[in-house]
Chains A and B, each alone.
Chain A
Amino acid sequence: MMKESDLTGKVYDIQGFSVQDGPGIRTTVFLKGCPLRCPWCHSPESQSFASQLSWMAMRCIGVEKCGKCLTACKKGAITVGESTESIGTGEKIKLVHVNRSLCDDCGDCTKACYPGGLSICGEDYQVDDLLKRLCRDIPFYKQSGGGVTVSGGEALSQPEFILALLKGLKEQGVHTALDTTGFTDFKNIVAVLPYVDLFLYDLKHMDSQQHKKVIGVPNERILENAKKIARAGGKLQIRIPIIPSFNDSEENLRLTGEFCKALGDAVTLVQILPYHNMGVAKYLRISDDPKIFETEPPTEEKIQNLKEILESFVLKVTVH
């Protein structure tokens, strides 16, 4: 049988001094792969379970001075592309072009790309190595009441790996938070429950049909899992992304507030996360033909109004 410490998981980012994802100073580790397809997702690279080639044109210094990727790619997926002005020096340069239909995300080109325009998103980590990395900031966690947040994608989609990871963190005395969509088998949650100090739990829409229509999955399992966590003594920090014309109706927020109130003491905080469009540029890095969702961020008045609705259910509410 495989030792727990040898398990590998796919990580696409590790962020130190993460201070929006739970109490204190935290490090957040982002796991790759998600069963949901939220159109507004600001981390499109988190959706696929596989490693992907990421292409950031602004870092390319041009084929005139570099062009190593052209020969490094054995699939013929990289060719000379359009002319542009270098962001760094203002010189005229020719960028490369990535033909996604020929690319199999093997990563050969990234090894030749010194400026870092081509990179592989998604790195395999063994539990022990990841633990070592996450424990480097323990002095900051201790001083600030912080810890580690495991996020995704949907972290519970790699159940054995995160179980081993969370166990390891608790052994080191680190406070743990798990950021989840809640869309998973409850058995995965039961397994990690003793090792999670706080669930950061998304509630996107109270109407299951709407939920399914827009996100691709219904919400019953998500709501059910939240109730079970509460009953089992888990702590929940509810997060509600506010997406204009999808879930920003007063009705939806009232239903969400009612639901949270019914969860009782398990809910420590409700966070409103207003939609922002910072993630748009990231879609172009992983796809030639991205489905970009764009809308105007909600107004401050609107957010204030929704916040008051939630507060009417005697909940502690913050806006990020």
Chain B
Amino acid sequence: MITLKPITTRVLKMRKNYRETMPKVCTARLKIVTDFYLENPNITGILKRALVFKELAEKMPVLISADEIIVGSMASTYRGSALFPENDIVWMKADNEAGQLFNRELDPYIIDDEDWAYISSVIPYWSKNSLSAMTDAYIPEGYFAAVGNQVTVYGDKGICAAPVGHFCTNYDKAIRVGFGTVREEAKGKMADLEGKMDAGTIKKYNFYRSVVIVCDGMITLSKRYGAEAARQAEACSDLSRKAELEKMAESLNWIMEKPARNFQDAIQIMFLYQIGMCLHNNMHAPTFGRVDQYLGSFYKADLAAGRMTPEEAQEIYDLFSLKVAEMNKIWSSGTTLAVSGYTVGQLMTLGGVDKNNQDATNAVTYMMLQTAARLELHDPPLSLRIHKDTPDLLWEAALETTKICGGVPTFENDDVIIPALMKNNRMDLESARNYCLIGCVEPAGCGDEWPACGGSGGEAYWNMPMAIVHAINDGHNPMPDFFGNVNENRTGAHTGYLYEMETFDEVLKAVSVQYQYFLEWQMSMVNMFEVVAAEHMAQPLVSCMMDGCMESGKDVMNGGAKNNSCGVPGVGIGNAVDSLAVMKHMIYDKKICTAREFYDAIMSNWEDREDLRQYILNEVPHYGNDADYADEWATWLLNLFADIVTNFTNVRGCKFAPGLYPVATNVLWGLMTPATPDGRKGGDPLSDGISPVQQLDKNGPTAILKSVSRIPQERFSNGTLLNMKFHPTALSNESGKEKLEALMKTYFDMGGMEMQLNVVSVATLRKAQEHPEDYQNLVVRVAGFSAYFVELFKNCQDDLIRRTELTL
């Protein structure tokens, strides 16, 4: 039986502070970076990035707040947000002009007048010198014709607000080897190359030189925090806090340069390295990886030596989690619609097998769940790796946690994911067994892969039903823009109109052509973005620890890591699959209407043909009901998608990896997607993850799982996402939990990769919408992440309520 242990007063205070502090925009980083760029136009490439980090490490304010044991800050105030002009800051001007920067409803930030004046003053410089601006000139000429297609994520401008991310560096090496040792290794490599340089080795030499600079930077930052702790200790009259601060100072002076000696050292290294990387770059989903594996041995040794009690360890872990939760960064109001809830996506992985295929669960695994459950924290999100020998107690702890804290953890299936990761030469068995989850549900190497999902850092989402709309509309996007104008250009391939297609095979042919056309453009654009970003945004601080880079002498951005995939996630799977089954049924099999009638009905947004739409919703078999008629198209369509994606090579020489997850883009993209053949009206949300279309799963959860198992999930090594919502009664008694566990195990046996649960009733969600003030701590799983329900975009809230609720 899993019980929640009492939370210490200090942790409660910190949690309250976290929930009640409105984040404030901080200009400290902006000033340091702007000054450096203005003064040093002569320095370029990786050295510029290394030296920027050195500046930040030497000049960023070091903030140690009351009660903290684990320290590190992105800003001069608690929970503050830094700014990243090298990526993009011009959006702030645009948002301000649109009245969406100050006092916005979603994820609001405090911005002082004085700070805004400074920000405004540097925007003109950055409008020419940010990565976004520098990418504009690289947009391929041919792509301009495709702009406005709504299938691919890219427009006619560089969008680099989050140009790197979605990776897990080797924290374990940072903890056990340290930056001092790596710095010496880099110095040795430089010495070997001095005076013997050719074209290739000059790049290597500068890489190692950059590694030395960033290692120094990391050590400097740590020692500055150490000095601040010592200063506070001296001024502290409370003797126990004084002792604590002295211990912190001692640790901060030791770590980074040298390996961790104990549990507290190890956690502090992990967190300060994270702060370092996030200060250096506008990281999107910088992932912690297998935290229980890094910490397990330190915990055990400290306990055995009597240096620490389990309660003390749990408190340190709680405080660390709150530090991670505190981290956030201001996004543009548009992006916030897709990822609201101040989320950074610093996913952690627990459980799973070790390199010898044995169960890797340890005491820290349980500690992580304990913290998530008792603090009701959605950040950091957790992913639990499940395999055939996962202990019953861990299952129980995980189900108990998800009951309290919606969607935490997600459940990931080792037995499908490990073989999937080895397909297309993505990685070897050793790396695959050590995988972690990055971003939201993406399996990737833990410390040895630069998957950089999307190249430009943001996920390369791809709208599956929209490509089908192009297929039946001769490559045109029929959706009017915000001004009511329809794009007259053909944004897709020339495939004819639905009413010209005499057989269903012709429809399938047109779909194949559009999928090929848009997927190849998507991946071409990803590659283009990455080539430009690699030139300006090298990552020596990530690379110095990432497996492969020190050996190859190459930055992760240049393919230095041991493994090098890149994902392409499809969105709106349910709508796309149903669209095929519906057209086949309505036009070709049952001949309910002619192709012309059907085409006109879609183009009129079903205005005059509600009867046809009702027939579709009620009479045609839908994906998600264990009906072969619909499900066979899931197999067909997703094989098509996977064939095209895995046949394309990224700029680091590895094949692209297909994925199926939307985060919350399904809602935002739905607004921009016209009526689709599955009976969906224009503007309605797209279906979520690999779930059936909202409310069209009528045969319960077993039927859903049978249907989604028809997707060749083992081909989707970039991850699949299945969100199931259950009524709280589902977990109210032992037999309910057992049944839920059996349900999940069966799904995993059938080839399922991932599942996440929401355990809240529709009634509760409705009440939370009406009285948000009473539901400040209600955590729900949105899609790729968990969030506080009351902080979600209203449409997302509605979407969550609409999804069929399943009872046990």
Contact = CB atoms under 8 A, between A and B. Distances in A.
Nearest to B706: A136
A61 interface: yes
B743 A25 contact: yes
| 3 closest cross-chain pairs (CB), A and B | A144-B742, A114-B615, A17-B700
B611 A16 contact: no
A96 to B, nearest CB: 14
Given A143-B742, A143-B743, A143-B745, 15 more contacts: A16-B701, A16-B702, A17-B701, A25-B743, A27-B702, A61-B611, A114-B611, A114-B619, A116-B614, A137-B702, A139-B749, A139-B750, A140-B705, A143-B746, A144-B738
A310 B617 CA distance: 47
Interface in A123-149: 136-137, 139-140, 142-146
Interface of A is mostly: loop
A58 interface: no
B611 A68 contact: yes
B749 A25 contact: no
A173 interface: no
Contact of B703 (A16, A61, A116): A16
Contacts of B750: 139
What band does the interface of chain B fall in when counting residues whose beta carbon is under 8 Å from A? 20 to 34
Given A114-B619, A116-B614, A140 B746 contact: yes
B618 A116 contact: yes
A66 interface: yes
Interface in B735-754: 735-736, 738-739, 742-743, 745-746, 749-750
Given A16-B699, A17-B702, A25-B702, A139 B746 contact: yes
A61 B615 CA distance: 12
Contact of A17 (B618, B745, B749, B806): B806
Interface string A1-33: 000000000000001110100001101000000
B530 interface: no
A255 to B, nearest CB: 28
A204 B701 CA distance: 32
B459 to A, nearest CB: 32
A253 B626 CA distance: 43
Contacts of A19: 735-736, 739, 808
A25 to B, nearest CB: 6
A172 B619 CA distance: 31
Given A19-B736, A25-B739, A116-B618, A65 B611 contact: yes
20 contacts: A15-B700, A16-B699, A16-B701, A17-B806, A25-B702, A25-B739, A25-B743, A27-B702, A114-B614, A114-B615, A115-B614, A115-B618, A116-B619, A136-B706, A137-B702, A140-B742, A144-B738, A144-B739, A144-B742, A144-B743
A89 to B, nearest CB: 9
A24 B738 CA distance: 8
A22 B461 CA distance: 44
A65 B749 contact: no
A112 to B, nearest CB: 9
A144 B614 CA distance: 37
Nearest to A14: B699
B612 interface: yes
A198 to B, nearest CB: 15
Chain B interface, DSSP helix/strand/loop, else mixed: helix
Contacts of A65: 610-611
Nearest to A68: B611
B729 to A, nearest CB: 10
A15 B742 CA distance: 18
B582 to A, nearest CB: 13
Q: Which of A68, A139, A140, A146 has the most CB of B within 10 A?
A: A140
Most buried by B among A114, A115, A136: A114
Contacts of A114: 611-612, 614-615, 618-619
A25 B611 contact: no
A interface, size bucket? 20 to 34
A69 to B, nearest CB: 11
A66 B742 contact: no
Nearest to A60: B614
Contacts, number: 75
B746 A144 contact: yes
Contacts of A116: 614, 618-619
Contact of B610 (A15, A66, A137, A139): A66
Contacts of B617: 115
A301 B663 CA distance: 45
Interface string B711-741: 0000000000000000000000001101100
B770 to A, nearest CB: 20
Contacts of B619: 114, 116
A140 B740 CA distance: 11
B415 to A, nearest CB: 14
A274 B738 CA distance: 24
Interface in A23-72: 24-25, 27, 61, 65-66, 68
A137 B742 CA distance: 12
A68 B592 CA distance: 14
Interface in B502-530: none
B709 to A, nearest CB: 9
Contacts of B700: 15-17
B379 to A, nearest CB: 32
A19 B701 CA distance: 11
Interface in A63-107: 65-66, 68
Contacts of A137: 702, 706
Nearest to A67: B611
Nearest to B745: A143
Nearest to A62: B610
A192 to B, nearest CB: 25
B675 to A, nearest CB: 15
A136 B700 CA distance: 13
A68 B617 CA distance: 17
Given A16-B700, A19-B808, A139-B750, A61 B610 contact: yes
Interface string B743-777: 10110011000000000000000000000000000
A25 B619 CA distance: 27
A139 B750 CA distance: 8
Nearest to B738: A144
Interface in B604-625: 610-612, 614-615, 617-619
Contacts of B745: 143
Contacts of B736: 19
Nearest to B616: A114
Contacts of A16: 626, 699-703
A97 to B, nearest CB: 19
A285 to B, nearest CB: 16
Interface string B450-464: 000000000000000
A143 to B, nearest CB: 4
A15 B807 CA distance: 12
A19 B738 CA distance: 11
B678 to A, nearest CB: 15
Interface string A140-168: 10111110000000000000000000000
Given A19-B739, A25-B742, A114-B619, A140 B611 contact: no
A16 to B, nearest CB: 4
A19 B705 CA distance: 16
A303 B461 CA distance: 53
A84 B791 CA distance: 36
Contacts of A15: 700
B416 to A, nearest CB: 15
Given A61-B610, A65-B610, A140 B743 contact: yes
Nearest to B618: A116
Contacts of A142: 746
Contacts of B739: 19, 24-25, 144, 146
A114 B615 CA distance: 4
A116 B616 CA distance: 11
A271 B739 CA distance: 18
B679 to A, nearest CB: 11
A66 B614 contact: yes
